[in-house]
């Protein structure tokens, strides 16, 4: 089964670390890409670089920035093939954001074809 590991970080935590610590954590993220079940993944630019699209009275409304201020921001993802949820959770537990006060949402990927 395929799982999406959705990574949420506390804003500013990564930037507050020393350079050596940031480099070590970055290497941990890259090392996760070497896990045999991980077949894709990416980090995202900061939420301040986001553009949000909403609809207002049938018209697209485009605004700079994220949808809302939150305690955590969506920072990246991995796509993982795992035998079961427990195996996916084991990989999710290795994501550095978890120990830095963030979280990883593990969600099964809907399989199937588009019609």
Number of structural domains found in the chain: 1
Q: What is the pLDDT of residue 11?
A: 85
Closest to 53 in 3D by CA, of 65, 45, 61, 43? 61
Share of the chain above pLDDT 90, in %: 66
More confident residue, 28 or 113: 28
Q: What is the pLDDT of residue 12?
A: 85
Q: What is the pLDDT of residue 109?
A: 96
Query: Does a structural domain hold residue 39?
Result: yes
In whole angstroms, what is the distance from residue 49 CA to residue 65 CA?
Answer: 6
| Domain span holding position 12 | 2-108
Whole-model pTM above 0.75?
yes
Query: Does a structural domain hold residue 115?
Result: no
Q: What is the CATH number of the domain that holds 44?
A: 3.30.70.1060
Q: What is the pLDDT of residues 15-57, one digit of tens each?
A: 899 999 999 999 999 999 999 999 999 999 888 888 888 898 9
**66 has pLDDT over 90:** no
In whole angstroms, what is the distance from residue 103 CA to residue 91 CA?
Answer: 13
Query: Does a structural domain hold residue 114?
Result: no
- Spatial neighbors of 96 by CB under 8 A, at least 6 apart, are 25, 28, 29
H or E element at residue 9? strand 2-9
Query: Does a structural domain hold residue 32?
Result: yes
**75 has pLDDT over 90:** yes
Query: Does a structural domain hold residue 113?
Result: no
């Amino acid at each position: 089964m395929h799982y999406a590991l959705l990574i949420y970080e506390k804003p500013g935590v990564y930037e507050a670390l020393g350079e050596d610590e940031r480099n070590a954590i970055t290497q941990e993220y890259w090392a996760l890409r070497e896990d045999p079940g991980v077949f894709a993944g990416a980090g995202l630019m900061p939420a301040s670089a986001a553009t949000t699209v909403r609809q207002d009275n049938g018209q697209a409304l485009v605004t700079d920035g994220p949808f809302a201020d939150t305690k955590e921001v969506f920072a990246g993802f991995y796509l993982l093939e795992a035998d079961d949820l427990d195996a996916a959770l084991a990989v999710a537990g290795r994501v550095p954001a978890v120990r830095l006060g963030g979280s990883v949402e593990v969600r099964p990927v809907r399989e199937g074809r588009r019609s």
